[in-house]
Amino acid sequence: MRKDDCFYFGRIIKKNGFKGDLKLRFDVDYPEEYSELESVLVETKTGLVPFFFDTYILEDKGFVRAHLEGVDTEEAADRVVGSELYLPLNILPDLEGTDFYYHEVVGFEVLDEVFGSVGTITQVREGNAQDLLVIDRKGKEVLIPVIDEWIIALNREAKQMTVRTPEGLIDLYISGPGKDEEPDRD
């Protein structure tokens, strides 16, 4: 399976014992929705490789104790520790309204209610304090926090997201000192 057809799901974070058991971290909002997983794609040097679960115990906060089929020794576990985990995009349920998956909106045009076209989303940057839409506006980077109340419409067919940002936020990126003009040095 191609990585482009998958979404990042988590990581194998460490060994858990001496018989190939592993500790995984599922990096998703609702890990309990994946409690019936039979397999996961593990990124290796040769690409994504499917591994089936022999055992699987979901713990708190997205942590999982698991044993993967074929990973039966400490040495085999060492080879996969640190690997990223992926799942096929087609297992994700369709979202409605203004709910979206981060990978889904890359390439969408962002329209501000007042300002108009802001630019195109190039990525969604995840952070500890705040996730950000990274938007390319004619070669300039514009950052808009991902705040539910600010996202007022999502048109998947037209690939457009309409936002209501606080007055002046967009202007910070497209005008003012250091943007298109020199600051006043009196």
Segments making up each domain of the chain, as ranges: 3-90, 102-174
pLDDT score recorded for residue 60: 85
Tell me, what's the pLDDT at 11? 97
- pLDDT of 180 reads 47
In the numeric block, which tokens belong to residue 140?
A: 């300039």
Q: What is the pLDDT of residue 29?
A: 82
Q: Mean pLDDT per 10-residue run, the chain (186 residues)? A: 91 91 91 91 95 93 93 94 96 91 94 96 92 96 97 97 96 68 42
Which homologous superfamily is 3-90 in? RimM (2.40.30.60)
How many Cα atoms are found within 13 Å in the side-chain-facing hemisphere of 56?
18
CA-CA distance, 105 to 154, in Å (whole number)? 9
pLDDT at residue 186, as a whole number? 45
State the Cα angle at 27 between 21 and 29, rounded to 5°.
130
Q: Which CATH class is domain 102-174?
A: mainly beta
pLDDT score recorded for residue 177: 53
CB count within 10 Å of CB 14 equals 12
